[in-house]
């Protein structure tokens, strides 16, 4: 299977030739396949956000390439513009970018820029609103009258409505309450399953990435430090801690159990934990 | 790209120029500007230039950053130069072509004007580069405090200025972020007719205004939480005091003004 997105030896240096020169990315390479759910973790300032902004052509690499279906997104103007639509990027606190009079118009901004027909825009807006769980009645409301969590969903719907093949989210759950987090995470997964889209989620919550992602990228000081399944990554717990990162809470509990001499496998999510523990008790999981 | 704007930016440092009392810098700058406008001859210009060059050298601000700050002003400089070049009458005609006449006086005047503006701007840049916005407004407040007797709200004005300066970089950053977010949704700011481009600004301006108001609200609340009530009876943690270097700076400034005026009175 050929990867949909390929990043080759990407480097980025900010403010070249000034006293503020600063390398944000050095020699980052990876590829992403359709339908993959990739979690991106790393300490603040490790280059995650810079990396994300390269994938849809908002930033131009100092050196290296970003390929979509094997073609560089900087090959010509049309490819760059296409990259904007094929790779949807949801920024941190996206609710601050809302500007239209109604929720409907705001979600329609992206598809409108794609030059789609009115019917197609209408279909996409309604579908996107459905994905993030916004009811029809909310579509005609001003986005500024909504609650914080609802605003966030409107902003995510605004990107989903462009039906990107790759959806990148920079800390989509930051500042939300636990039920809001759950909702947004399941909304994103619903979109992935419906469109077989690739998801890349930047997060500081190890619990979230352990639960959702089937692959993890770990950034450290502008380098891609690790790339593997959550199991492979969280196995290197001590390295993660040294980077100022963490491992999921349940993993820590199970590591402790192992050090106390209980023969349990490594566990990364609550669901796995429940299964393992019920099996240990000799019972059958009921949920 | 917006981040490259350096207008009014402060470069922290430890040079004597950085450590001067902001009031000294303001007063000397005013003196320097007076000298610059009184100056009529190359000799007095050279004096002003010498003063500027020594100040920049002491400040350790790289000349490169001062030049970079000039970039947005190139248009004004060119405009001034061209206007003076073409519309100055004189005896010695250098070029005469159709309705365009360039005289020697015109060339001299154009060079004079451009150099004057350059030196004026460099000096003001030096002030903002070496003085943090807070100490600058502090100095301004202290210099304007006699106006309090006339019921001018000096403290409030300087606080407003201080806050405005403080939030320029924040707002620039915010604009950058919003622009990126809208670009990610396919917004296009670079192509299209004038009307399209103006319309393309709406998705930036609306969120920017909303966040500016939100910030203002939050700041007001934060200030009230700390019992801010304006200037009445407010004391300062850092009192401004003149030191030895301030005396040197005043002396140098006074010398410059005196020299230029003397030269001017001799018709030089």
Top pLDDT among B166 and A180 is at A180
Placement of tokens 């669901």 in the chain: A271
Give the whole-angstrom CA distance, residue A264 versus residue A253.
Answer: 11
Contact state of A15 with B3 under an 8 Å Cβ cutoff:
yes
State the average pLDDT over residues B189-205. Answer: 84
How distant is the alpha carbon of residue B91 from its chain centre?
37
Placement of tokens 């801690």 in the chain: A241
ipTM of the complex: 0.85
Q: For residue A55, what is the nearest residue in chain B, using CA coordinates?
A: B184
So what's the pLDDT on residue B61? Answer: 84
Contact state of B210 with A88 under an 8 Å Cβ cutoff:
no
Give the whole-angstrom CA distance, residue B28 versus residue B50.
Answer: 15
Contact state of A144 with B210 under an 8 Å Cβ cutoff:
yes
**Chain segment A112-144, per-residue pLDDT in tens:** 999 899 999 999 999 999 999 899 899 999 999
Is the pLDDT assigned to residue A160 strictly greater than 90?
A: yes
CB-nearest partner of B182 from A15, A88, A97 = A97
- Give phi and psi for B267, each to the nearest 5: 80, 15
Is the pLDDT assigned to residue B7 strictly greater than 60?
A: no
Residues 6+ apart with CB under 8 A from A178: none
Placement of tokens 């290197």 in the chain: A236
Domains of chain A: which residue ranges? Answer: 5-239, 248-282
Is the pLDDT assigned to residue B217 strictly greater than 90?
A: yes
Residue A89, number of CB atoms within 10 A of its CB: 25
Contact state of B185 with A110 under an 8 Å Cβ cutoff:
yes
Contact state of A97 with B207 under an 8 Å Cβ cutoff:
yes
Classify A114 as helix, strand or coil: coil
Out of A2-6, B112-116, B196-200, least confident range: B196-200
Compute the count of residue pairs across chains A and B with CB atoms less than 8 Å apart: 53
Is the pLDDT assigned to residue A287 strictly greater than 50?
A: no
State the average pLDDT over residues A274-280. Answer: 85
Is the pLDDT assigned to residue A281 strictly greater than 60?
A: yes
Is the pLDDT assigned to residue B186 strictly greater than 90?
A: no
CB-nearest partner of B186 from A15, A84, A98 = A84
Top pLDDT among A124 and B88 is at A124
Minimal C-alpha gap between A144 and chain B (Å): 10
So what's the pLDDT on residue B3? Answer: 52
Residues 6+ apart with CB under 8 A from B256: B31, B32, B35, B47, B48, B51
State the average pLDDT over residues B145-150. Answer: 87
List C-alpha distances in Å: A188 to A35, A146, B115: 12, 20, 60
Radius of gyration of chain B (CA): 23
Minimal C-alpha gap between B187 and chain A (Å): 6
Q: Report which of A136, A133, A147 is spatially closest to residue A104, judged by C-alpha positions.
A: A136
List C-alpha distances in Å: A227 to A232, A267, B85: 9, 19, 65
SS3 labels along chain B:
CHHHCCCCCCCCCCCHHHHCCHHHHHHHHHHHHHHHHHCCCHHHHHHHHHHHHHHHHHHCCCHHHHHHHHHHHHHHHHHHHHHHHHCCCCCCEEEEECCEEEEHHHHHHHHHHHHHHHHHHHHHHHHHHHCCHHHHHHHHHHHHHHHHHHCCCHHHHHHHHHHHHHHHHHHHHHHHHHHHHHHHCCCCCCCCCHHHHHHHCHHHHHHHHHHHHHHHHHHHHHHHHCCCCCCCCCCCCCCCCCCHHHHHHHHHHHHHHHHHHHHHHCCC
Domains of chain B: which residue ranges? Answer: 2-265
Minimal C-alpha gap between B1 and chain A (Å): 9
Is 0.80 surpassed by the pTM of this model? no
State the average pLDDT over residues A1-11. Answer: 88
**Chain segment B39-81, per-residue pLDDT in tens:** 888 888 898 999 999 998 888 888 888 888 788 888 888 888 8
Judge whether A104 and A98 are in contact, CB under 8 Å. no
Mutate to test the interface with B, among A20, A86, A99 (most CBs of B within 10 A): A99
So what's the pLDDT on residue B2? Answer: 52
So what's the pLDDT on residue A213? Answer: 92
Confidence of residue A239 (pLDDT cuts 50, 70, 90): confident
Confidence of residue A285 (pLDDT cuts 50, 70, 90): low
Torsion of CA A265, A266, A270, A275, to 10 degrees: -10
So what's the pLDDT on residue B101? Answer: 74
List C-alpha distances in Å: B79 to B66, B74, B85, B86, B117: 20, 8, 10, 11, 12
Q: Enumerate residues 111 to 140 of chain A having a beta carbon within 8 A of any beta carbon in chain B.
A: 113-114
Confidence of residue A270 (pLDDT cuts 50, 70, 90): confident
Q: Show the DSSP H helices in A173-220 as ranges.
A: 178-195, 206-212
Q: What does CATH list as the number for A5-239?
A: 3.40.50.300
Residue A215 in tokens: 């692959």
Q: Report which of A170, A169, A165 is spatially closest to residue A68, judged by C-alpha positions.
A: A165
């Amino acid at each position: 299977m050929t990867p949909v997105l390929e990043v080759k030896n990407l480097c980025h240096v900010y403010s070249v030739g000034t006293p503020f020169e600063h390398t944000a990315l050095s020699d980052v390479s990876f590829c992403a396949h359709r339908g993959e759910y990739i979690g991106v973790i790393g300490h603040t300032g490790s280059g995650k956000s810079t990396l994300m902004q390269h994938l849809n052509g908002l930033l131009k690499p100092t050196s290296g390439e970003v390929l979509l279906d094997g073609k560089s997104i900087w090959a010509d103007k049309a490819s760059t513009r296409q990259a904007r639509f094929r790779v949807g990027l949801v920024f941190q606190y996206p609710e601050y970018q809302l500007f239209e009079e109604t929720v409907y118009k705001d979600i329609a901004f992206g598809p409108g820029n794609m030059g789609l027909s009115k019917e197609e825009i209408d279909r996409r807006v309604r579908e996107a609103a459905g994905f993030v769980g916004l009811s029809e009645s909310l579509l005609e409301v001003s986005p500024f009258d909504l609650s914080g969590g609802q605003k966030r969903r409107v902003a995510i719907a605004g990107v989903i409505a462009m039906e990107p093949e790759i959806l990148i989210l920079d800390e989509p759950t930051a500042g939300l309450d636990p039920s809001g987090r759950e909702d947004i995470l399941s909304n994103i997964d619903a979109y992935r399953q419906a469109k077989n889209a690739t998801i890349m989620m930047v997060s500081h919550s190890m619990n979230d990435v352990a639960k959702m992602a089937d692959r993890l990228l770990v950034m450290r000081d502008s380098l891609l430090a690790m790339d593997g399944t959550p199991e492979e990554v969280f196995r290197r717990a001590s390295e993660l801690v040294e980077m100022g990162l963490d491992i999921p809470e349940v993993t820590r509990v199970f590591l402790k159990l192992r050090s106390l001499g209980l023969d349990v496998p490594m566990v990364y999510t609550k669901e796995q934990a429940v299964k393992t523990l019920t099996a240990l008790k000799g019972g059958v999981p009921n949920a | 790209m917006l981040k490259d704007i350096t207008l009014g930016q402060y470069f922290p440092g430890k040079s004597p120029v950085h450590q001067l009392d902001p009031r000294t810098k303001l007063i000397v700058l005013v003196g320097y500007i007076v000298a610059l406008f009184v100056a009529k001859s190359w000799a007095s210009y050279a004096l002003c230039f010498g003063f500027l060059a020594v100040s920049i050298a002491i400040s350790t601000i790289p000349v490169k950053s001062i030049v970079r700050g000039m970039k947005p002003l190139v248009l004004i400089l060119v405009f001034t130069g061209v206007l003076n070049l073409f519309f100055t009458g004189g005896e010695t005609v250098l070029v005469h072509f159709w309705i365009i006449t360039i005289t020697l006086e015109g060339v001299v005047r154009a060079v004079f004007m451009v150099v004057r503006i350059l030196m004026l701007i460099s000096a003001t840049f030096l002030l903002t580069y070496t003085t943090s916005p807070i100490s600058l407004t502090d100095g301004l407040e202290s210099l304007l405090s006699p106006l309090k007797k006339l019921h001018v709200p000096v403290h409030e004005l300087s606080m407003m200025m201080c806050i405005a300066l403080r939030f320029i970089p924040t707002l620039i950053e915010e604009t950058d972020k919003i622009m990126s977010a809208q670009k990610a949704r396919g917004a296009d700011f670079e192509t299209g007719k004038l009307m399209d481009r103006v319309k393309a600004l709406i998705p930036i301006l609306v969120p920017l205004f909303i966040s500016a108001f939100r910030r203002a609200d939050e700041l007001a609340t934060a200030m009230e939480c700390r019992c801010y009530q304006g200037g009445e009876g407010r004391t300062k943690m850092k009192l401004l005091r003149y030191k030895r270097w301030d005396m040197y700076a005043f002396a140098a400034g006074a010398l410059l003004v005196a020299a230029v005026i003397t030269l001017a009175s001799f018709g030089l």
